[in-house]
């Protein structure tokens, strides 16, 4: 097989990024973006490696029965959705299978898999967006998304995953940039001012936060921008300028200046009120987060007597929604602003049995263990890289009767479940939960019990 060959291919599986995969007669895997399991294709080979190849669809001979017509103009250009061309039922099936494959094959774990907690709403569910701002060759302002695996900005007036109102914020910003000829940041030279538009919306309270990431302290004529936002967005609660002068891919810099409002918005999750500030983690799909937390709560099986340790706690959400049902709660989180939010959230909701530590979770857990803290239930909700062996060992030494593991990456979950198995904890069951429909990401929650 060589570049530009046309080959017949049946798509039989999907990668973690959502690309379809088929195998040639001699067993070579060919990755084909935007294909669907069941497609019979003619594929043009783009790149050949030793054991696998990349291709693109040249012709669809027989479409997968799961295919539907994509309903978004940006789909296939922006790096956002992986699956707008298959039914949601098929997407759920693929995600469920991925979690199961990871746990069984990578982790070598046999357990019970509950059906995936699916979304009621597969569009407009996101409450957060970070849009890069740039200009195209003709000097036209672009506000949108990076193309897949690239830093080319795809202009997007209205993303189907985001609240309709975000399109209004984009429009106001675009008008301002055009009218006042605002300079936009150029990644190659490090020059120019406006880098990103970052928006958060609180679904229940309808509060809106707009944050501009700038290469400097602010924007020229920013009072005009503020005025335009305030007059056109009645639910605008706060506007923040974040300063990022570094040549980096990281969106946010370390300093915020509040230009309007209090610098935060508030939303409701599982009946509790939470403060959301620009740096703190907040679940992007609120409706699904409530279902995920309900499952975590069921797995924690609290009776009111338990001591709970919530590691990677963000603004304290999972633990605080359970605080009424346990004796004590300790949350650990590495971002200082999130810890401050967590403390405020405890106060705001009248929770008196919680405390929060700003620390690295593995180090803090070890420290707590040495201090003799022995939780009955440990909640883990790490970022994609997972917990790692050291933390698993520390948790096992603390000897909680149950561990509830919330994971956004099936591969690291599987690895960590294996570490747990080696340290005396069995996986009782796993429930996948779809927090990010139309993208390839899948969340899971697992219950572990001491042997």
Q: Which CB atom, from 3 or from 384, has the smaller least distance to ligand SAH? A: 384
DSSP state of 152: P
Least Cβ distance, residue 351 to ligand SAH (angstroms):
15
Question: Do the beta carbons of residue 421 and residue 109 sit within 8 Å?
Answer: yes
- Of 74, 387, 408, 433, the catalytic one is 408
Least Cβ distance, residue 145 to ligand SAH (angstroms):
22
Which H helix or E strand runs over 310? strand 307-311
Q: Which CB atom, from 239 or from 403, has the smaller least distance to ligand SAH? A: 403
Least Cβ distance, residue 380 to ligand SAH (angstroms):
9
Virtual torsion, Cα 406, 161, 67, 31, nearest 10 deg:
-60
Return the axis-axis angle of helices 165-179 and 222-232, rounded to nearest 10°: 150
Q: Which CB atom, from 145 or from 281, has the smaller least distance to ligand SAH? A: 281
**Pair type for strands 307-311 and 377-380:** parallel
**3-state secondary structure at position 370:** helix
Least Cβ distance, residue 111 to ligand SAH (angstroms):
22
The residue ranges that bind ligand SAH (CB under 6 A) are: 281, 283, 312-314, 317-318, 332-335, 338, 360-361, 381, 383
Least Cβ distance, residue 102 to ligand SAH (angstroms):
19
What whole-number distance in Å separates Cα of residue 20 and Cα of residue 23?
Answer: 11
Strands of the 194-201 sheet, one edge to the other = 153-155, 141-146, 128-135, 194-201, 208-214, 236-243, 255-260
Q: Which CB atom, from 72 or from 252, has the smaller least distance to ligand SAH? A: 252
Cβ-closest residue to ligand SAH? Answer: 314
Residue position matching structure tokens 């990022």? 244
Q: Which CB atom, from 90 or from 333, has the smaller least distance to ligand SAH? A: 333
Least Cβ distance, residue 334 to ligand SAH (angstroms):
4
Q: Which CB atom, from 43 or from 117, has the smaller least distance to ligand SAH? A: 117
Q: H helices within 188-313, ranges in order?
A: 222-232, 286-300
Q: What is the DSSP string of 24-67?
A: -TT--EEEETT--TT-EEEEEEEEE-SSEEEEEEEEEEE--TTB
Nearest to 182 by CA among 191, 196, 170, 194: 194
CB burial of 11-41 (b: ≥16 within 10 Å; e: otherwise) equals beebeeebbbbbeeeeebbbbbbbbbbbbeb
Least Cβ distance, residue 286 to ligand SAH (angstroms):
11
Q: Which CB atom, from 218 or from 388, has the smaller least distance to ligand SAH? A: 388
Based on C-alpha coordinates, what's the Rg of the chain? 23
Least Cβ distance, residue 227 to ligand SAH (angstroms):
34
Tally Cβ neighbours within 10 Å of residue 180. 14
Q: Which CB atom, from 170 or from 406, has the smaller least distance to ligand SAH? A: 406
What whole-number distance in Å separates Cα of residue 176 and Cα of residue 170?
Answer: 10
Tally Cβ neighbours within 10 Å of residue 340. 18
Query: Is residue 408 annotated as a catalytic residue, yes or no?
Result: yes
- Could you tell me which residues are beta bridge partners of residue 208? 201, 236
Question: Do the beta carbons of residue 321 and residue 283 sit within 8 Å?
Answer: no
- Which residues are identified as catalytic? 408
């Amino acid at each position: 097989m060589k570049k530009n060959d046309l080959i017949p291919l049946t798509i039989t599986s999907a990668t973690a990024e959502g690309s379809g995969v088929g195998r040639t007669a001699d067993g070579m895997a060919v990755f084909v973006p935007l294909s669907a399991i069941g497609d019979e294709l003619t594929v043009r080979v783009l790149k050949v490696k030793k054991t696998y190849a990349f291709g693109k669809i040249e012709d669809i001979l027989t479409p997968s029965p799961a295919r539907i017509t994509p309903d978004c103009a940006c789909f296939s250009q922006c790096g956002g959705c992986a699956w707008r061309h298959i039914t949601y039922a098929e997407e759920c099936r693929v995600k469920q299978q991925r979690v199961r494959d990871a746990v069984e094959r990578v982790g070598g774990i046999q357990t019970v898999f509950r059906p995936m907690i699916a979304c009621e709403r597969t569009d407009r569910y996101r409450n957060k967006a970070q849009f890069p701002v740039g200009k195209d060759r003709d000097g036209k302002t672009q506000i949108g998304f990076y193309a897949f695996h690239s830093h080319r900005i795809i202009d997007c007036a209205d993303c189907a995953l985001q609240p309709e109102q975000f399109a209004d914020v984009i429009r106001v910003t675009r008008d301002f940039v055009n009218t006042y000829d605002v300079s936009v940041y150029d990644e190659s030279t490090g020059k120019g001012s406006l880098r990103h538009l970052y928006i958060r919306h609180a679904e229940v309270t309808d509060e809106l936060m707009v944050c501009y990431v700038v290469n400097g302290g602010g924007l020229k004529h920013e009072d005009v921008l503020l005025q335009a936002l305030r007059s056109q967005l009645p639910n605008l609660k706060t506007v923040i300028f974040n300063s990022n002068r570094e040549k980096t891919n990281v969106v946010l810099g370390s300093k915020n200046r509040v230009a309007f409002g209090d610098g935060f918005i508030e939303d409701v999750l599982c009946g509790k009120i939470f403060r959301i500030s620009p740096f703190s983690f907040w679940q992007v799909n609120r409706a699904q987060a409530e279902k995920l937390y309900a499952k975590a709560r069921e797995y924690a099986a609290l009776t009111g007597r338990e001591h709970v340790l919530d590691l990677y706690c963000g603004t304290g959400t999972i633990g605080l929604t359970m605080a009424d049902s346990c004796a004590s709660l300790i949350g650990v989180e590495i971002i200082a602003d999130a810890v401050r939010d967590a403390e405020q959230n405890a106060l705001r909701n009248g929770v008196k049995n919680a405390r929060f530590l700003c620390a690295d979770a593995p180090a803090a857990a070890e420290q707590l263990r040495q201090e003799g803290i022995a939780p009955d239930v440990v909640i883990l909700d790490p970022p994609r890289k997972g917990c790692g062996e050291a933390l698993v060992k520390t948790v096992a030494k603390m000897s909680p009767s149950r561990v509830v593991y919330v994971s956004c990456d099936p591969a690291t979950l599987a690895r960590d479940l294996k570490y747990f198995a080696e340290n005396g904890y069995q996986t009782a069951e796993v429930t996948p939960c779809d927090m990010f429909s139309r993208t390839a990401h899948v969340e899971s929650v697992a219950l572990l019990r001491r042997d």
